[in-house]
């Protein structure tokens, strides 16, 4: 029995080991980079306090970077582990401008993503 879903992913979506690494996808990698970096920083922060969550997130990052369509990576990483949110809460708390770029990224992502989606433009 043929696996239609796997065929469509490989043939039309470019899903596979490092298949999505193409020059034309550079803007999508730029959009996904903050989520990947934030996830890696969360892994580093929580590897001793919550090792099971850190390991889960590390494996998720590895799968997202090596196998996934980069347009899905941001949604996947920000929804696969609570450690991303814990890290963001710890980073942005405490005042003094701490976590400014994290909040700027999330705010920009939401605003631009909402406008792009409403205008039928692709958005990660």
Q: What is the DSSP letter of 99?
A: T
- Where does residue 106 rank: exposed (0-12), middle (13-18), buried (19+ CB within 10 A)? middle
pTM above 0.75, yes or no: no
Look at the block and give the residue holding tokens 């990947």.
36
| Count of residues making up the chain | 124
Count CB-CB contacts under 10 A for residue 46: 22
Count CB-CB contacts under 10 A for residue 62: 10
- The 10s digit of each residue's pLDDT in 63-101 is 988 888 777 888 888 777 888 888 888 877 755 566 777
- The 10s digit of each residue's pLDDT in 35-73 is 899 899 999 999 999 999 999 999 999 998 888 877 788
């Amino acid at each position: 029995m043929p696996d239609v879903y796997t065929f469509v992913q490989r043939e039309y979506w470019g899903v596979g080991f490092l298949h999505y690494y193409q020059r034309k996808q550079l803007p999508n990698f730029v959009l996904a980079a903050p989520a990947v970096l934030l996830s890696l920083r969360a892994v580093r922060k929580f590897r001793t306090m919550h090792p099971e969550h850190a390991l889960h997130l590390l494996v998720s990052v590895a799968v997202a970077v090596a196998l996934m369509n980069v347009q899905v990576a941001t949604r996947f990483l920000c929804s696969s582990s609570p450690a991303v949110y814990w890290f963001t809460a710890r980073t942005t708390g405490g005042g003094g401008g701490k976590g400014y770029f994290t909040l700027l990224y999330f705010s920009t992502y939401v605003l631009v993503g909402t406008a792009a989606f409403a205008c039928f433009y692709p958005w990660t």
